[in-house]
Amino acid sequence: MDEKPTCSVMGCGSPVIARGLCVAHYRRMQRSSPPGARVTARHQELLAAFGGMRAFCRAVGVHSPVVYRWKDGAIPAERHPEILDGAARAGVDVERVRRALGGA
């Protein structure tokens, strides 16, 4: 018997229904993501370094809708120092965050 894929959200083991997400995470994405928002590998790496969206927002002091707007383009360069400071305060690997920011 084939093993069913699980949700791509870290720590979630629920079965996938669409786009690599379970029912709960897919619905959450539909409610909170602006149309056309996409997660790039760079954004995924940045959020993973912090342990997820919630931890990133808490450490950096931004709200998730702001981060979702970044996903459509680049993370503004003026935010890089603030993100690196948040990483240092939160005990996150600053070099990993720097690489995710593109060597900022």
- Rounded-to-integer distance, Cα 100 and Cα 91, Å: 16
- The alpha carbon torsion through 92, 66, 100, 37 (nearest 10 deg) reads 140
Give pLDDT, residue 76.
Answer: 82
Which regions in the chain score pLDDT beneath 50? 35
Task: Give the pLDDT of residue 42.
Answer: 74
Predicted pLDDT of residue 33: 56
**Cβ partners under 8 Å of residue 12, min gap 6:** 6, 22, 24, 25
pTM: 0.59
Q: For residue 73, what pLDDT is reported? A: 60
